Amino acid sequence: MQRSQEAQVKLLVDVRLDGANQLSQFPSSPTLPAPATPPPLNAGPPLLQVRNLRTWFPIKRGVFQRTVGQIKAVDGVSFDVQAGRTLGLVGESGCGKTTVGRTILRLIPATTGSVTFKGDDFFAHRGEDLRHLRRQMQIIFQDPVSSLNPRMTVGNIVGEPLTVHNIAWGSDRVDRVAALLQRVGLDPSYASRYPHEFSGGQRQRIGIARALALSPDFIVCDEPVSALDVSIQSQILNLLDDLQRERKIAFLFIAHNLAVVEHFSDEVAVMYLGRIVEKASRTELYANPKHPYTVALLSAVPEPDPRPKKTRIVLSGEVPSPSKPPTGCPFHPRCPLTREAAKQANAADTVEITTAGERVRVLRKCVEEVPPLEQKQGEPGHVAACWVTR
Amino acid sequence: MAKPLLELRDLNVAFNTERGQIRPVRDVSYSIYPGQTLAVVGESGCGKSVTALSILRLIPSPPGKVLSGEVQFEGRDLLDLSEREMRGVRGRDIAMIFQEPMTSLNPVYTIGDQIAEAVMLHQKVKQKQAYEIAEQAMRDVGISDPGRRLFEYPHQMSGGMRQRVMIAMALSCKPKLLIADEPTTALDVTIQAQILELLRKIQRDTGMAMLLITHDLGVVAENADVVAVMYASRVVEYAPVEELFDAPLHPYTQGLLKSVPRLGAHSERLVSIPGTVPNPARFPGGCKFHPRCPRTREAAAVAGAETVEVVTAEERFRVLETCAVKEPLLREVSKGHWAACHLAEGFESSPTTRPDLANKRAVVARAVGSMIT
């Protein structure tokens, strides 16, 4: 027993030494870790690679602020974003989709995991290097009111990134700001006005102009239209669409509205409790959803049609707290599929659980083991994390 | 012919502000029949919520004031009642639920206290009995373990649960009319589905009427019998739900229906309504929709038309002079279908009646299915 333990420790040390040796031999080697997920649908190196991203927030209690647990807001998320394309990230509130966007941009520190931008480990950069990379990555926020400084003129809001990154000054900056405002559909003379003088849609245009100022290759759009009126949403979506075509910008499009995500994305990932539970190309995901959560989510969207075609699956219960996620598959307490499957399975393979006040029988495997995100029947690259679905 | 439960007649509401008077509700008329759901749909600032608040006389006054109009409820004009009589109507005959359940619940009282308070106020019962009614009301809205939950505080519950509590509170006195102001806007889609299903079930069981205020056309399509579309403090279109979605007459309604991204109908480009939602403090003249209206621009392009130029923040273009000068009032353009647009076919010769429809939807709401393996 003791021997084997020693051997194990030795093995670990050896590995670590090996690793260190390799690093010192190739100090500037850009070699990347092997991708943990299957290669993306489109060939060619992705613009952005996210691997096993985890963002945990400690729960602190008591006088000494002892850490008593972790909220696993993002718990092992991996995906790629291709240059000039859009990955839609969809899920309900608290699923961690916003945290993913912010962690990628290092607005929130990651717990573990890596983000590779243009083949470069983004998390490894500091200081001037980091600033340089950040020019290429921008964000558009949900709330167009709180994301614009009320004491700055529109010209200063849009022009500030140009000054911070030492790109344009004086009349050159004025010209660039005017061109940006024009591009997002605002009159250039508005540069001297303040945010409160604008409507929600116009403020969101200002936010977009600011994100465009540095000609980024990648923009995180965090619920860019959900705070806007219905008739304004389509204007902003069309604008983002045009900008993507014109400037080959890649988007990580975070939203809870499935119809908006369908309209806007090339590829879609569905998140539940900090994990991606399904990912596929847009057409495949909406036509052929595999994960029971995706199916239920799609069926829950009210259709603007008084004669609905689809039946609805009403899920029982609510999204559990990420501080106490269920064991095994995080969706099992609400999952209608595991209940169906348990009816046909051997009694030994099922267990009874209490959820939302009712006692139901589910598959033992769903309660005990976390399902991996694996290829399902259908298009290559269509992955889902579910023990039951094929 | 059944009589309407609630009938609004030419309601006008004004707010006095530092920058002068604004008019969030102008000549609004609609009616709701027992068991019926009337959906009022519109964007922010269109006056849909202010109208509902003025039914219950909950407009802060000053600065708000009902200028004219009637709110007929079971043969009485609610605007004529004394404050004391009105308290008997609120909560008992007409209940209301709001968008944000957290701000509508008192954080320092337990859920049970709050529901029981409403019950004791309106029904002459003792505290113990009120708690029993509260527990039953919570069970009715699908709250598990209501006996324990009675003693919880609002912060211990999720958004969906709090909305259920609000509904339980509203329904505890068995109201004849429920005013639901954006009841699911703050909730996730799977929870929204649960709450809307619950409201439909309660309606089926009790025959309660509902005034559903929302901006979500999907929610309208699935729940309404009759729809009133509001724009810039007026009702601009009024029709049975199927008719409204099949053959909208007002260019605003048409634009709204086309601009919503739909599941499974992927298109390269969304149709959008240009311009911005008007601010009630700065309404344009004439038809309030003319600066955004595609129909009047098209009509203005026809040779010989009398036109005027419009300059907005984004563009300049010409519209018909009528649209820019004269505000169209709601007319019954075809049988049981009202619209307020100069350019709707046969508009000028149609009668200016008050909209009133007793319709129930012919199609049922979406079936609830199970998942097939």
User: pLDDT digit string (tens) for A151-198?
Assistant: 999 999 999 999 988 888 889 999 999 999 998 988 888 899 999 888
pLDDT of residue B364: 64
Rounded CA gap, B98 and B52, in Å? 11
Q: Cβ contacts (< 8 Å) between A260 and chain B: which residues?
A: 261
pLDDT category of residue A60 using cuts at 50, 70 and 90 = confident
Q: Please, are residues B290 and B196 in contact by the beta-carbon 8 Å criterion?
A: no
pLDDT of residue A13: 35
Has residue A28 got a pLDDT over 60? Answer: no
B245 shares contact with chain A (CB less than 8 Å):
yes
The mean pLDDT values, 10 residues at a time, for chain B of 373 residues are: 89 89 92 95 89 91 89 93 90 87 84 89 87 87 83 85 86 90 84 86 90 93 94 95 94 92 78 84 90 92 85 83 93 94 92 90 65 48
With vertex at residue B230, the alpha carbon angle to CA B229 and CA B236, rounded to the nearest 5 degrees, is 75
DSSP run (H or E) holding A283: helix A282-287
With vertex at residue B350, the alpha carbon angle to CA B345 and CA B353, rounded to the nearest 5 degrees, is 130
pLDDT of residue A3: 46
Pick B43's closest partner by Cβ from A230, A300, A304. A230
Has residue A7 got a pLDDT over 70? Answer: no
Nearest residue of chain B to residue A183 (CA atoms): B314
B1 shares contact with chain A (CB less than 8 Å):
no
Q: Which two tokens stand for residue B339?
A: 């619209």
B276 shares contact with chain A (CB less than 8 Å):
yes
pLDDT of residue B363: 62
CB contact under 8 A, B366 and A312: yes
Interface pTM, i.e. ipTM: 0.82
DSSP state of A146: T
- For A239, residues 6+ apart whose C-beta sits below 8 A from its C-beta are A184, A185, A205, A208
Rounded CA gap, A162 and B372, in Å? 55
Window 191-220 of A: residues touching B by CB (8 A cutoff) are: 199-202
Q: What mean pLDDT do residues A218-225 have?
A: 92
pLDDT category of residue A366 using cuts at 50, 70 and 90 = very high
Rounded CA gap, A233 and A229, in Å? 6
Rounded CA gap, B112 and B57, in Å? 27
pLDDT of residue B371: 56
Q: Cβ contacts (< 8 Å) between B254 and chain A: which residues?
A: none
Rounded CA gap, B336 and B122, in Å? 38
Pick A199's closest partner by Cβ from B219, B276, B365. B276
Rounded CA gap, A138 and A162, in Å? 13
pLDDT category of residue A105 using cuts at 50, 70 and 90 = very high
Give 3-state DSSP helix, strand, coil % of chain B, rounded to 5.
35, 25, 40
Has residue A30 got a pLDDT over 50? Answer: no
| pTM, rounded to two decimals | 0.83
B188 shares contact with chain A (CB less than 8 Å):
yes
pLDDT of residue B365: 58
- For B158, residues 6+ apart whose C-beta sits below 8 A from its C-beta are A318
pLDDT of residue B160: 79
B311 shares contact with chain A (CB less than 8 Å):
no
Q: What mean pLDDT do residues A273-294 have?
A: 93
- Shortest Cα–Cα distance, B151 to chain A (Å): 17
pLDDT category of residue A108 using cuts at 50, 70 and 90 = very high
- For A71, residues 6+ apart whose C-beta sits below 8 A from its C-beta are A56, A57, A58, A59, A322, A323
Q: Identify the residue among B149, B272, B311 best suited for mutation to test binding to A, counting A beta carbons within 10 A and taking the highest.
A: B272
Q: What mean pLDDT do residues A310-319 have?
A: 79
The average confidence (pLDDT) of chain A is: 84
Which is it for strands A120-121 and A112-117: parallel, antiparallel or unpaired? Answer: antiparallel
